[in-house]
Amino acid sequence: MRNRRTAASLIAASAVAALIPALTPATATAADTAGAPRAATQQQFAQQKLDWKRCDPKAPATFQCATVRVPLDYGRPQGKKLDIAISRIKASAPDQRRGVLLLNPGGPGGAGLDMPVYMSEQLPTSVKSRYDLIGFDPRGVGQSAPVTCGLSYEEQMSDRPYKAATFPSDVRWARTVAKKCAAANGARLPHLTTRNTARDMDAIRAALGEKKVSYLGYSYGTYLGAVYAQMFPARADRFVLDSAVDPRRIWRGMIQIWAEGAEPAFDRWTRWTAERDATYALGKSPREVRGTFWKLVARADRDPIVIDGQKITGDDIRAGRAVFFSVREAAEAVVELKKAADGGKPRLARLPDILKPAAPPTFGRAAAAEDNGTAAFWSVVCADTRDWPRDPETYRRDAIRDKAKYPLYGDFASNITPCAFWGKGSEPATKVDNRVPSLILQNEWDSQTPLPSGVGAHRALKGSRMVTVAGGEGHGIYGSGSCADKTATTYLTTGKLPARDLTCQAPEPKHQKSVRLPSPTAGR
C-alpha cells in the first residue's frame, strides 16, 4: 500500500470500461489454476529466447535487463501481447545457486525493475550467493506497457477529507478519474489485475527455465505473492511476505484499515510523548498531548501553516497519519509544525517525509508518464474486486460514521474513490486459502499494513509462519537490520520455517534504518 504525496512513478498508495468475460469461477479453490496459461502457452514462454543486455551504462555491469512477452488477455493467448520488463543480478556463487528470487516492492503501481540493485545492498551474502535476484515492472507499470490516464497533479491527489460542502466535488473528481482512465486505455484496462500479474510471474518463471520460483514481496507485493501461491501452488518455492496485506480486505477494507490502525498508534504516541515532556513540551499527560495536537489541527484549518512555501492545513496534518506510527519522528514533526504556526522557522529535516518524499533511482531510463503510479494503482485496486459500492451516498454515510469512530483519518479512508465509477472487474477477487509454506514478517507499528492486516494474511495462508517485531516501526522489514532478518535469511537459505510463530523485540524507537523501497504513486 502507498504513502501520501509520494513521487509518481507505489504505493502507492496507491486505473476501466469494456470488460472481458470472467476467466475463473466465482469461488477460487486452494489450488486456483483457473485462467492460468494453457500448456501450449507455457511452452511458448519456455521457448522464448531472452536477450539479456546491460540495463544502463550508469548501472552496475552485473545488472542485466530483458523482456518477456505475455498475452494481454490470458483467455486469448494468441491475441494482443505485452512486453514485461525484467532484470537480474546473477547468484554470486554459481556452485551454491538454488534458483531465482523474484522481487516486488509493493503498490499497486510500484516499479520493481531496479530492485536487484538496491536489494543487493541490503540482502545478506548467503542469500545473494544462492539466488539470481529478479526484478520486474508489473504490467501497466514503469517499462512494462505503462498505463496513463492523463491525470493532473491535483487529480492524482486522493487524500480527501469528508466535508458536506466539498463532497459533490469529491464525487466529480472520482467520476472524472474513472472517465479519463477509461477513455485513455479502453479495453486493455480490465486486464491490469493482480491475477494477471501473477500469471506474468509464472511466464517469467517459464522463460527463465525454472521449475519453481522463490519470492520476496513487500506490502502489496505480499498480496501478489499470496495470489501466485493460490494459483500456482506447485511452483511456489520459498516465499517471504513482508508487511502483509490481508487478502480478505481487498481493497476498500485495506484503505479503511489505515484509519483503524492510526488510532491505537496515535494513542501510543501521546503516551510516549507525555513521558518525554521535558524534551518535546507537548504535554505532561496523554490527554494534554492530544489536546495540543488537536488545537494545532484546528488552528491550521483556520490559518494554514506555511512551510517552505507550502500551505499546511489541519486536514493535511491529519492526512499525514502515517507519521504517528513512528513515535519519535511524530513528536519531532509536531514540534516543528507548532513552531512554524507560532511564527518560528522550522527545521525541514525534522518534518515527515509526507512533505518531501524521495524518488527512487531509475538509472537514466526514460520515465513513464507522471501519473503512471496513480493510474496503475486505481487500475488494480478497482478491477481486482467487484465489492466497491456504486452509490456515492454509501461513501458519504461511511465517511461520516468513520470520522466519528476514527477521528485522525476515518473520513479520508471511507470517502469516495474512482472505483465507485469503474465498472465490474474482469474476475472475482481471489480467495486466498492455501497451505503453501511461506514466512510473513510484520512490524507491530506498521502504518501501511497495520498489525491486524498481517494477522489476517497469516490466517488466510494456512501454511505460513509469522514473525512479529514487537515495538517495530516502519513499513518494510527484511534488509533493515531487524530482529526478524535472521529468521528470513534462514528460511531462504535452508528452507526451514520456524516450528511456531515468533515474536522478537525491536529496540527503543529512534531514527531506524528503513528498507529502501520506491514510493510508487502520488496522492495517498
Predicted local confidence at residue 20, as pLDDT: 20
State the Cα–Cα distance between residues 430 and 463, nearest whole angstrom. 17
Predicted local confidence at residue 358, as pLDDT: 43
446 annotated active-site: yes
Predicted local confidence at residue 259, as pLDDT: 97
Catalytic residue chosen out of the listed positions 475, 482, 485, 519: 475
User: DSSP readout, 248-269?
Assistant: GGTTHHHHHHHHHHHHHHHHHH
State the Cα–Cα distance between residues 226 and 461, nearest whole angstrom. 8
Amino acid at 495: G
pLDDT tens, residue by residue, 477-519: 999 999 999 999 999 999 999 999 999 999 887 654 555 544 4
43 exposed, middle or buried (CB, 10 Å; 0-12, 13-18, 19+)?
A: exposed
CB 428 within 8 A of CB 24: yes
> In terms of DSSP H, where are the helices of 314-471?
314-319, 327-341, 372-383, 392-405, 410-414, 451-460
Catalytic residue chosen out of the listed positions 14, 219, 414, 519: 219
CB 113 within 8 A of CB 106: no
Catalytic residue chosen out of the listed positions 446, 447, 482, 485: 446
State the Cα–Cα distance between residues 10 and 1, nearest whole angstrom. 7
Measured at the CA of 291, the angle between CA 256 and CA 299, to 5 degrees, comes to 85
Predicted local confidence at residue 173, as pLDDT: 98
Predicted local confidence at residue 10, as pLDDT: 27
219 annotated active-site: yes
Predicted local confidence at residue 520, as pLDDT: 42
Residue 347 is classified by DSSP as -
CB 78 within 8 A of CB 198: no
State the Cα–Cα distance between residues 437 and 455, nearest whole angstrom. 16
Tens of pLDDT along the chain (524 residues)?
643 232 222 223 322 222 122 222 223 345 676 656 665 566 777 788 899 999 988 888 999 999 999 999 998 999 999 999 999 999 999 999 999 999 999 999 999 999 999 999 999 999 999 999 999 999 999 999 999 999 999 999 999 999 999 999 999 999 999 999 999 998 889 999 999 999 999 999 999 999 999 999 999 999 999 999 999 999 999 999 999 999 999 999 999 999 999 999 999 999 999 999 999 999 999 999 999 999 999 999 999 999 888 899 999 999 999 999 999 999 999 999 999 999 998 887 666 544 544 444 455 566 679 999 999 999 999 999 988 999 999 999 999 999 999 999 999 999 999 999 997 767 888 999 999 999 999 999 999 999 999 999 999 999 999 999 999 999 999 999 999 999 999 999 999 999 999 999 998 876 545 555 444 443 34
Element (H, E) at 377: helix 372-383
Element (H, E) at 335: helix 327-341
C-alpha cell of 105?
Answer: 516492492
Distance of CA 502 to the CA centre of its chain: 24
Residue 203 is classified by DSSP as H
In the block, which residue shows the cell 501497466?
140
